[in-house]
């Protein structure tokens, strides 16, 4: 696949379209729906999801800047997102005990679909992970194709900014993200375990 840029191009744009659907539009709808319905457990899962999934947005800005390690952050996002959706024992139990209304059915359908998408995405990212470690390969057409949607995004929404500046914004955001993740793993996780309600 790495040797066939046209196949990679089709794969990349399909992945970005699916990401917009599963990682942006549907979860945004579910978040608003859960607020309106006053479904606290689902609202909390969705808030946690958005915190974790912000790594996808950071990856976009890193790719705009042309940083090869953005392939690593893309892989990390695909691993962390499903973990964030299923990790919380108390929220899972509360959601299971709620009546089978439309919101619950939609949320669970999306959660499973997002998990499958991320598992497939993880396999794909592993195939292209070498792009993060080989400068010659990163400069090759197959790896460069992965940058195209991010560059297109920048040309539409950040036309007045240099790609280097946007890349630095991505690095700063990644540092803050890593600091918060480190704090959670080293401090909060030991205190609260798998309970999201006892924060």
pLDDT value at 85 more than 90: yes
Q: What is the mean pLDDT of the chain?
A: 89
pLDDT value at 2 more than 70: no
Give the residue ranges of DSSP H helices in 65-188: 70-86, 89-97, 102-127, 135-138, 141-144, 148-157, 163-183
Give domain status of residue 197, yes or no.
Answer: no
The phi-psi region of residue 66 (left if phi > 0; otherwise alpha if psi is between -120 and 50; otherwise beta) is left
Domain count, the chain: 1
Give domain status of residue 199, yes or no.
Answer: no
Give domain status of residue 101, yes or no.
Answer: yes
Q: How confident is the model at residue 167 (pLDDT cuts 50, 70, 90)?
A: very high
pLDDT tens for 42-65 read 999 999 999 999 999 999 999 999
This prediction has a pTM of 0.89
Number of Cβ within 10 Å of residue 84's Cβ equals: 16
Give domain status of residue 198, yes or no.
Answer: no
Q: What is the 3-state secondary structure (H, E, C) of 149-161?
A: HHHHHHHHHCCCC
Average pLDDT of the residues in 23-49: 95
Range of the domain at 12: 5-192
Q: Is the CA virtual torsion 48, 49, 55, 58 positive or negative?
A: negative
The DSSP H or E segment spanning 40 is helix 40-64
Give domain status of residue 183, yes or no.
Answer: yes
Give domain status of residue 69, yes or no.
Answer: yes
Helix-helix angle 40-64:148-157, to 10 degrees: 100
Give domain status of residue 113, yes or no.
Answer: yes
- Closest C-alpha among 183, 147, 154 to residue 169: 154
Please tell me the least confidently modeled range out of 34-43, 129-138, 149-158, 180-189. Answer: 129-138
Q: How confident is the model at residue 174 (pLDDT cuts 50, 70, 90)?
A: very high
Give domain status of residue 185, yes or no.
Answer: yes
Distance CA 61, CA 53 (A): 14
Is residue 128 within 8 Å of residue 12, measured between CB atoms?
no
Which of 27-31, 68-72, 189-193 tops mean pLDDT?
A: 27-31
């Amino acid at each position: 696949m790495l040797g066939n840029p046209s196949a990679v191009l089709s794969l990349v744009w399909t992945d970005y379209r699916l990401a917009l659907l599963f990682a942006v539009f549907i979860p945004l709808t579910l978040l608003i729906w859960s607020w309106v319905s006053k479904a606290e457990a689902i609202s909390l899962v969705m808030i946690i999801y958005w915190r974790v999934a912000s790594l996808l947005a950071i990856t976009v800005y890193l790719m705009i800047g042309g940083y090869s390690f953005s392939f690593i952050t893309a892989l990390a996002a695909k691993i962390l997102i499903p973990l964030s959706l299923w990790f919380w024992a108390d929220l899972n139990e509360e959601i299971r005990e709620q009546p089978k209304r439309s919101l619950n059915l939609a949320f669970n359908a999306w959660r499973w679909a997002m998990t499958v998408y991320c598992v497939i995405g993880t396999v794909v990212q592993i195939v292209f992970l070498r792009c993060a470690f080989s400068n010659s390969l990163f400069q090759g057409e197959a790896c460069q194709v992965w940058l195209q949607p991010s560059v297109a995004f920048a040309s539409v929404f950040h036309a007045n900014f240099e790609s280097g500046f946007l890349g630095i914004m991505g690095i700063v955001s990644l540092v803050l993200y890593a600091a918060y993740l480190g704090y959670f793993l080293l401090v909060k996780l030991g205190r609260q375990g798998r309970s999201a309600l006892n924060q």
